[in-house]
Amino acid sequence: MTNIYADNKKISFELFKYVAEQFSSCMNDNLYVYDILNDTYYITEGATERFAVPGSFFSDVINQHRKFVYPDDFPKLAADLNSLINGEKTEHNLSYRWLSKDGSPIWINCRGRIIPDSNGRPYLLIGCINEIGKKQGADNISGLLSSVTLRERLRNYDRLPDGYALRIGIDDFKNVNERLGQDYADHVLRNMAECIESNLTEGQSVYRIDGDEFIIFDRIGGTFSDAHALYHKIRSGVDRHIEANRYQALYTISGGVIENSSFETADFEYILKLTEFALSTAKLRGKNQLYYFNSDDYAAFLRRRMLSIALRESVDNNFQGFELYYQPIVSVGSETLYAAETLLRYTLKTGERVSPGEFIPILEETGLIVPVGKWIIKGAVSTCKEFQNKLPDFHISINLSYIQLLKSPVFIEILEALDGTGLSPSSLIVELTESGQLDNSLSIRNVWDKLKKLGVRLAIDDFGTGYSNLGNINNLKPDIVKLDRSFTIKALQNEYDHQLMTHIIYMIHSIGLNLVVEGIETKDEQSKIASLDPDFIQGYYYSQPCPKEEFKKKFNL
C-alpha cells in the first residue's frame, strides 16, 4: 500500500483528504492529513468552527500552529513534530491545548501515524484530534443519556410539546459519597436511574445532569398532577431500595416540576436555568418534597439576584446608592433630643428606593453586610461628633446583626471609628436584634463584653418579639431595652397588655436599665405611653427617619 501511494504523491494526499472529508460528517472527532514533504495541512471543517485554526487547508504548518496552539504547549508540539519529520519516530500521541474561536484554551488529544514514501522517508502524517475534556453523550454510571444529548435533542424544537419537565435531585448525596465511598454512591445513582426509568411511559424520557440530578421530560400532555404521581412512585422505589439494602444509606429526593407551557423557548440553557430554580426551591423549603414552578416565585428570585448584583456593585463603587438616615430618640420628661438611631437606606441606579426589609437580608446572606457595616459605623460616629458641636450630650445608635458580629472585626472597627473622631464610647449605643443567637455564641459574647468594658452603651432591640426575652436581659445585661411597636400597639388597645407594659417598665427601672418605647406616631399615643414613665420615646410622632442635613435643620443642629 505504501508503494502505491509513493508512486503518485499528489493522489495519495488528495485521497486521504477525500476520505477524511467523507468520514467527518459521521464522527465527532476531527481528522487531519499533514503532507510533510510539501509542508501542507488539511483538517476537517468541524475544527474550523470550534478552534482558531486559519482554515481547513494551510501551509507553513509548524509556524501556523503557533496561531492556535496554547503558547505554553507549543514547544512540546514543535519538538514532537520535528521528531516525526526527522524520522526519529512514526507514532504521534500528544495531549495539549488548542485555542477556541474566542481564545479559550481547550485540551485535545492528537494522535497520528507516519505514512512513508517509497524511500522510507516520512511523507504523510494522518490522524485525528478529539477534545479530551468534552462531555460524553451518555453516562456510563447511571446508564442514561446525558445533558449533551439533551442539548442536541432540544435543537429540534422551537417550543416544547405539551407536558412537563421534572428535575429530581438526591438530597445530601455528598454525605453518601463521603461516608460509604464512590462505589456505593455510584450504586445509588444506578438505582435512582432504574427507579426513574421503570416508571416512565412512552413519550417520556430521562437524562442525567451533572452530579446527582436527573431531568424527566414528558411530551404527552402530562400535568402537575401527573408529575406529582410520578415523583411519588420514584420516591417509593427509592424507599424500597434503601430498605432492601438494610438502611446502609438513608437519603431522600427532592423535585421541581415545570409545565412545558411555562418555557418561552426550547433553549437548553434556559430550560436548565428554570428547572434548577425549581429543584433548588424544593431543597430550600426543607427537601424531600416536590415544588411546583410559580412565575411569581421566579420573578422574586430574579429580583433578589438583581439586587444582589446591584448591592455588590454599589459596595465596589464607594457605597454609591447607600445613605444613612436618622430618627430621633426623645427624653420623655424633658422632651429633649437624647439620641438618633442610624438607619440604612438604599436607592437603585434607576431611582427606585428599596425597602430595608428587602435589601438588608441580602446584605447578610451575601456577606456584604461586613463592608457596609463598617461604612455605617464610620458614618454614624462621624455624624454624632458633628452634632455634639451643638448638643454635647447627643448620642448615636447603630444596629449590628448576628452575621456582622460573626464575620467582621466589629470591636476593632468601632474602636478605630471612635479614635478617629475623638467621640467618647459612652456616646455610642449599639443595638442588637438577634440576641438569641448572640447568647449562644461565645465569640460574639466576647465582643459584647468588650464593648461594655469600653463604655459603649448596649441595647436589646425589638424586645417582646422574636428572640428578645427576659432571659436575655439576665444573660446579656444590656444598658437599654427597646420595646417594639407591635408590643406598644397592644398596650394601647387593651387593658391586659397595658398593665403588662406597666410592669415591664417598672421591672426594667428596678434593675437600673433605661427603656425606649418605639413606634409612637400620634399625640394621643405619646400621652398615653409617657404616662407609663418610660425613659425615651421614638417614633413618627417626633420625626420619620431622614437624611443628615434634614435632621440637622429639624433639630437645630
Calculate what percentage of the chain has a pLDDT beyond 70: 93
State the DSSP code for 288: S
Pairwise pLDDT comparison (21 vs 9), residue with the higher score: 21
Pairwise pLDDT comparison (333 vs 467), residue with the higher score: 333
Say what the pLDDT of residue 470 is.
66
Query: At a CB cut-off of 8 Å and minimum separation 6, what does 130 contact?
Result: 28, 29, 30, 108, 109
Task: For domain 305-554, say whether CATH 2.70.98.10 is its number.
Answer: no
Homologous superfamily in CATH for domain 2-131: PAS domain (3.30.450.20)
Q: What is the pLDDT of residues 23-46, one digit of tens each?
A: 766 567 889 999 998 999 999 988
Identify whether the C-beta of residue 210 lies closer than 8 Å to the C-beta of residue 151.
no
Q: Which stretches of 245-294 are DSSP H helices?
A: 268-284
The whole-chain average pLDDT of the chain stands at 90
> What sign does the CA torsion over 216, 221, 222, 223 have?
positive
Domain boundaries, the chain: 2-131, 138-293, 305-554
Longest dimension (CA), the chain: 115
Say what the pLDDT of residue 448 is.
86
Say what the pLDDT of residue 438 is.
53
Say what the pLDDT of residue 229 is.
97
pTM as predicted: 0.76
The arrangement of secondary structure in 138-293, i.e. its CATH architecture, is: 2-Layer Sandwich (3.30)
For residue 4, pLDDT beyond 50 = no
Say what the pLDDT of residue 465 is.
63
Q: What is the pLDDT of residues 183-218, one digit of tens each?
A: 999 999 999 999 999 999 999 999 999 889 999 999
Nearest to 33 by CA among 9, 51, 50: 9
Identify whether the C-beta of residue 251 lies closer than 8 Å to the C-beta of residue 173.
yes
Rounded CA separation 557/550 (Å): 10
Query: Element (H or E) spanning 154, and its range?
Result: helix 147-154
Q: What is the pLDDT of residues 310-341, one digit of tens each?
A: 999 999 999 999 999 999 999 998 899 999 99
Kindly indicate the confidence band of residue 445, based on its pLDDT and cuts at 50, 70 and 90. confident
Weakest mean pLDDT among 94-103, 160-169, 185-194, 462-471: 462-471
Say what the pLDDT of residue 324 is.
98
- The pairs formed by 12-19 with CB atoms below 8 angstroms and a separation of 24 or more are 12/115, 12/123, 12/124, 13/38, 13/40, 13/42, 13/124, 16/124, 16/126, 17/42
Kindly indicate the confidence band of residue 5, based on its pLDDT and cuts at 50, 70 and 90. very low
Weakest mean pLDDT among 154-168, 269-283, 343-357, 497-511: 497-511
Kindly indicate the confidence band of residue 3, based on its pLDDT and cuts at 50, 70 and 90. very low
Identify whether the C-beta of residue 398 lies closer than 8 Å to the C-beta of residue 440.
no
Pairwise pLDDT comparison (418 vs 488), residue with the higher score: 418
For residue 277, pLDDT beyond 80 = yes
For residue 377, pLDDT beyond 50 = yes
Average pLDDT over residues 486-498: 86
Q: What is the pLDDT of residues 212-237, one digit of tens each?
A: 999 999 999 999 999 999 999 999 99
